[in-house]
Amino acid sequence: MTVSPEELDASPALAAGVSRAALRDAIYVSAAFNMIDRFADAIGATPHSEAGLSRDEAMAHEGRFFEEGYA
């Protein structure tokens, strides 16, 4: 969608029964991921695995958001 939006064709999805609302939602999700990815690149964010955290350490780090929220 970013590189060649003029080549997009929704007709196969619509013919398969996908609703216009579902296509719109998919586009919104795609746009959000695109924006988040560009933001992460811009600030130099790295995955926890590249920062040296194990899966358990990363889960413990992120778990604080469930308990304390983002504020």
Question: What are the tens digits of pLDDT across the range 7-45?
Answer: 989 999 999 999 999 999 999 999 999 999 999 999 988
Residue 53 has pLDDT above 90, yes or no: no
- pLDDT for 14 equals 96
Query: How many angstroms separate the Cα of 47 from the Cα of each of 41, 44, 52, 71?
Result: 11, 10, 9, 22
pTM exceeding 0.85? no
Query: How many angstroms separate the Cα of 65 from the Cα of each of 5, 7, 61, 71?
Result: 36, 40, 8, 9
Q: How confident is the model at residue 71 (pLDDT cuts 50, 70, 90)?
A: low
Q: How far is the C-alpha of 71 from the C-alpha of 66, rounded, in Å?
A: 11
Q: Tokens at residue 21, please?
A: 């609302």
* Phi/psi of residue 55, nearest 5 degrees: -60, -45
